[in-house]
Chain A
Amino acid sequence: MSAIPALVGYYEPWWIQVIKGLVIFAVGLQLVPVVLIAERKLLGRFQGRYGPNRVGPYGALQPLADILKLLTKEQFRPTTSAGFLFALAPLISILTAVAAFAIIPFGDVQDIFGTKVGLYGIDVSIGPLYLFAFGAIAFYGIMLGGWSSGSKYSFLGAMRGAAQLISYEVSQGLALLGVIFTAQTLSLTGIVHAQAGMWYVVPQFVGFLIFLVAGFAETNRAPFDLTEADAELVGGYNTEYGGGRFASYYFAEYLNVLVVSGIVTTVFLGGWLLPFGLHPPGWVDPIIVLFKMSLVTFLFIWIRATLPRLRYDQLMSFGWKVLLPLATLNALVTAILVVATN
């Protein structure tokens, strides 16, 4: 039987890997409609209205209706579009989002019926790098989609997206550096284990803020949703998309929100750890992680309901003149402190 060696010192049989892959894919894709309806309901409440409440009890089936509607629509393609890339771009987006979701640890290594199973897709020894690699590929999903649409709105949206993603990925990476210095590991489970004493949100508060802000920009969410600024660009890079392909973009966007929430939870909020020295049984771990993720997602929605969209030059100057120096300084100070205290 072939086995995949993992860094944590145990071997997972191949069938466990397959099952884990399926479960994470299924759970991830089930979470997206939940986030969808949560966002619409919460945005409604933030604005003094109900949000969708007609389809199903309390509007709970609204995302299902939305998705069904999108999937039954015609796969329209503009004549000016570049066929192959036009179809490929949403796939890249959703693929990278799912791939990034795979590294979020939902729990420690558990003993399930005598088989040791880590409650995560894969514990890569280069966790954040893997994340940024797929974040960089996700940019191709936006860029190719915008370019291959053959429409100026799409192209403008994609150009903005490209500039924005590149600008903020740097700060995001640098914000994580502080944590990596302190934890002395790149493995996400290792980072969670290193937070047993204190969650990194306390000593790395600046890094946490920078990562969060850059995360808003990375997921193209308000107030950094210039890629799809409806008022200016019709719909941004996905203007020409409809039906299932648009649904893929939409899915990828919300999955990215979940991924960023998961990474924030893992890296800054202690993953599956509870404060005050509580040690619940292993099966509670995923619930804790999901709860923390939902808190971060709530923050995403809250920010979206609060802050207006930035102007483009504000976005750029904020990214390069504020976040980047701050993140660099944060990494530098952390490095000095780590060396000094060791």
Chain B
Amino acid sequence: MPDERSTPREPASETLPLTRWDPGEDAIEVQRSPAPGPARSAWRAFRETARGMKTTLARIAEGPVTVQYPEEKVPVYPRFRGRHKLHRFEDMGGVGSDPAQAGLEKCVGCSLCAAACPADCIRVVAAENTPENRVSAGERYAAVYEINLSRCIFCGYCEIACPFDAITMGHDYELSAYDRSDLIFTKEMLLAEPLERTPLRSEGE
């Protein structure tokens, strides 16, 4: 059996005659400037380096743009979606305000927020209001209302789903905790007036 590797191959030129592909009308003549000589390129390198150094020095003159975060904060926009808040009825004393409702929770425990939540982080257990223990304005109230903020994606669907505007997204974004269980916010925590830790952007800012 002859060694395959040693058999000479057919020269390619015999089977496939080499013809130059004619680009025809597609050919584009590129006009190139003459390559700079050594002195000129050295000067160009020097000049461009100097230009770069000027650019960086201008940054010193400009001063830092850093926001010193824990001390300075960038104000958030009004629609910023931070930590949730639960709301109570306030006695506004105006037309349509019901003094009997003042102080009652807006949440009626309907669980629509929990249903809307894509991250499944809201847990609502409803209970009946009784004349002795009236918690909300509706028939029922949320006996348990928990938001697991370690799962929450801050999409704001709960806010949209809520028929009574009982839950809204607040502006607080400083939510780190040492323990995962600390991130499960209970009803009392959500109802409590949050510490004003986030500056709100004023109109036109």
> A residues engaging B (CB < 8 A)?
42, 44-50, 302-303, 305-307, 322
Contact = CB atoms under 8 A, between A and B. Distances in A.
A198 B60 CA distance: 32
B2 to A, nearest CB: 46
Given A45-B60, A306-B49, A307-B49, 6 more contacts: A46-B59, A48-B62, A49-B66, A50-B66, A302-B56, A322-B42
B59 to A, nearest CB: 5
B8 interface: no
B24 interface: no
A45 B61 CA distance: 9
Top 4 closest pairs, chain A to chain B, by CB: A306-B52, A306-B56, A45-B60, A49-B66
B52 A45 contact: no
B58 to A, nearest CB: 10
Interface in B50-70: 52-53, 55-57, 59-60, 62-66, 68
Contact of B57 (A49, A50, A302, A322): A302
Given A306-B49, A307-B49, A50 B56 contact: no
A307 B49 CA distance: 8
A305 B52 CA distance: 10
Nearest to A303: B53
A48 B52 contact: no
Contacts of A305: 56
B55 A48 contact: no
Contacts of B64: 44-45, 48-50
A42 B59 CA distance: 10
A302 B50 CA distance: 11
Interface residues of B, number: 15
Contacts of A42: 60
A48 B59 contact: yes
Nearest to B55: A306
Contact of B52 (A49, A50, A307, A322): A307
Interface string B52-90: 110111011011111010000000000000000000000
Contacts of A50: 64, 66, 68
A305 B49 CA distance: 12
Interface string B132-156: 0000000000000000000000000
A45 B65 CA distance: 9
Contacts of A303: 53
Contacts of A307: 49, 52
B59 A45 contact: yes
A215 to B, nearest CB: 15
B60 A46 contact: yes
A306 B49 CA distance: 8
Nearest to B66: A49
Contacts of A48: 59, 62-66
A47 B59 CA distance: 6
Nearest to A46: B56
A303 B53 CA distance: 7
B60 A49 contact: no
A126 B81 CA distance: 71
A46 B65 CA distance: 11
Contacts of B59: 45-48
A49 B65 contact: yes
